[in-house]
Each structure stands twice: as C-alpha cells, then as structure tokens.
Amino acid sequence: MKLAVIGSAGQVGQEFSKLVDADQLVLLTRDQIEIADPASVEACVAKTDAEVIVNLAAFHDVNGCEDDAHKAFQVNALGAFYVAQSAAKHGRKVVFFSSDYVFGQETSRDTPYLEQDQVGPLSVYGASKVAGEQLVAIAATDHLVIRASSLFGVATSKKGWTFPEMIMQRAQSGQPLKVVNDQYMSPTYTNDLVATVLSLIKANATGTVHVSNAEGCTWYEFARETLKLAGIDYDIEPVGSDVFPSKASRPSYSRLDSQRLAGFDVPAPRHWREGLQAYLVEKGVMKN
C-alpha cells in the first residue's frame, strides 16, 4: 500500500522512511504542499497515486500557538480539513496525527485517558488539535486519527533535539538539571509509534486510536531513567512546573491508553522504558 506523507521531513515523518520501502512512499514537504491553502492541497492530492494520505503537518509550538491562534487553527484545524476533504474526494484514506494535549481540564485525573473520553484542552494548541480531529471526521469517512504523546526518537524535531538527548547533553556538559515532577505523561518512541500506525493502516482501522508506549511517568522520572540507562551518574533536581513559567498551560496528567488497538488485532507498543532503551541503542549510546 502506497503512502503519501505530508510533513515527511519532521520527527515522525522521517520514521516512515525507515520503516516503509522507498517505492511505497511519496514524501511531501512544504515545498510541495501548503496545507493551509486548499488549492495547493487539492493539486497535490489529485496527482499522487498513494492510497493513504498521512498528514503530519502541524504548528507544534505550544507557546507560539498562544501568540498566534489564527495560525494554529489555520494549520492544525483548517489544514487538516483540506487534506481530509481532498483525500475523501479522490478515494484515499487519511491519517491525522493529534496529541494528548486535547486533554487536561480534569485536574484531579489519575487514570489514563482512553479514546472515548471527553476532550478538554487547556491551550490554543490543544484546542486547534481538537478542531482538527472533528473536521477530519466530518470531511472523510475513511479517516484514522492518531493521538500520541511526548515524542522522542533519533530523528529530531525543529527544535534540533529531543528530551532524552537534551538531558544527556546537559548532564555531560555539567549544567544544572531541574526537571518538572508534576506533569504525568506517556513517553512515546517515534519508531514504535510509526510501526503501530502502519499496522493500523494495514488493518484498515478507522476512527480515533491512542498510540503511546505503555505505562507513564513524570518528566523527572523520564530524565532520571535516561541517565541511568545511558550510564551517566548525574544529579537531577525534581521541581514543580511553576519553576518554568509558560504562556500555554500544560496538562498535569495526560497519560494515554488504548481500548481500540486490540479490536484491530494490533499489539500495543512496549513499555516506555523498553522504548527508551531501544532509542539509546539506535542512537549508539547503549549496546544492544
């Protein structure tokens, strides 16, 4: 099955190139398609022979979304709609990537969010992703919405680093390390994420599915485990999120779990510690 991947140069997009044969991929960047422009989207989707359109294009800067809500909704919501609309018009399946940030308003939450739970974002970014999910569902019957969380992988984001890499670099350079210990999430290894999504596509899954590595932790626990596995002996100070003021509010608890993967006979991703270990092996920090 041939896939067209919009946003192929990004952190998750690069994983598709690792896991899918080149002759089964159409790699699309902003040079080829501007998802906020419906004419650009239609022209690109119309000419591709891919059976599945994977939309990874997004405005990910959570604080930046607070400053520019128009851009956030133009890209994350309307752009998602244009892609889904064109995919449906030409008989293609559309896959849209969303976020755990569609949740967060339940401040006393202490159990994982499932696919059927009520959304409640705290930020413009989260709200734009909710709108994107809803517009995709309206535009295309054959749609798959993937909610993922706290991504890390060897391919980096536009920031130029991922969380484990940043933690190791700061420890190795002797910088003080303070990491929040009051935000609980589900770290997700991008290689495991894409492998699971490919299985869902093969199973012709539709609707919304949560895909993250099993269990969860705080960012402090994630950082501590990173240094432990990497063999770096360095102190990390656990702190509250108020130590790092932010324009955008972030969920204190956004761990994801899935009740739908089993229904498609798709195995759930491994424990986040195993995913972290695999990441460190892939990066060359650990031996297999």
Type of residue at 157: S
CA distances from 209 to 31, 61, 115, 148 (A): 30, 23, 6, 9
What stretches of 58-172 adopt beta strand conformation (E)? 93-99, 143-148, 151-152
CA distances from 14 to 22, 93, 184 (A): 12, 20, 27
How high is the pLDDT of residue 287? 81
- The pLDDT of 204-220, averaged and rounded, is 98
- The pLDDT of 115-139, averaged and rounded, is 98
> Does residue 269 form part of some domain?
yes
Q: How confident is the model at residue 158 (pLDDT cuts 50, 70, 90)?
A: low
> Does residue 101 form part of some domain?
yes
Task: Give the separation between CA 193 and CA 241, rounded to whole angstroms.
Answer: 27
CA distances from 162 to 10, 55, 251 (A): 12, 21, 19
The gap from C-alpha 37 to its chain's centroid, in whole angstroms, comes to 23
Reduced to 3 states (helix: H, G, I; strand: E, B; else coil), residue 97 is: strand
Nearest to 59 by CA among 81, 38, 35: 35
Q: What is the CATH number of the domain that holds 84?
A: 3.40.50.720
> Does residue 288 form part of some domain?
no
> Does residue 237 form part of some domain?
yes
> Does residue 224 form part of some domain?
no
CA distances from 53 to 37, 85, 156, 197, 230 (A): 16, 11, 22, 13, 37
> What residues are annotated to the active site?
125
* Residues linked to residue 256 through DSSP beta bridges, in sequence order: 113
User: What's the mean per-residue pLDDT of the chain?
Assistant: 96
Q: How confident is the model at residue 157 (pLDDT cuts 50, 70, 90)?
A: low
Nearest to 45 by CA among 6, 87, 85, 77: 87
| Residue percentage of the chain with pLDDT more than 90 | 93
Pairing of strands 184-185, 217-218: antiparallel
> Does residue 225 form part of some domain?
no
Q: How confident is the model at residue 161 (pLDDT cuts 50, 70, 90)?
A: confident
How would you classify residue 181: left for phi > 0, otherwise alpha for psi between -120 and 50, otherwise beta? alpha
- The pLDDT of 83-102, averaged and rounded, is 98
Q: How many domains does the chain have?
A: 1
pLDDT at 123 over 70: yes
Residue 73: other Cβ atoms inside 10 A: 21
> Which pLDDT tens digit goes with each residue over 225-249?
999 999 999 999 999 999 999 999 9
pLDDT at 279 over 90: yes
Place of tokens 């992703």: 129
pLDDT at 159 over 80: no
Task: Give the separation between CA 282 and CA 288, rounded to whole angstroms.
Answer: 9
> Does residue 10 form part of some domain?
yes
Does this model's pTM top 0.75? My answer is yes
| Residue percentage of the chain with pLDDT more than 70 | 99
Give the single-character DSSP code of 163. Answer: H
**Sign of the Cα pseudo-torsion (251, 257, 263, 265, in order):** positive
Reduced to 3 states (helix: H, G, I; strand: E, B; else coil), residue 82 is: helix
Q: How confident is the model at residue 286 (pLDDT cuts 50, 70, 90)?
A: confident
> Does residue 38 form part of some domain?
yes
For 27, the domain range is 3-219+230-282
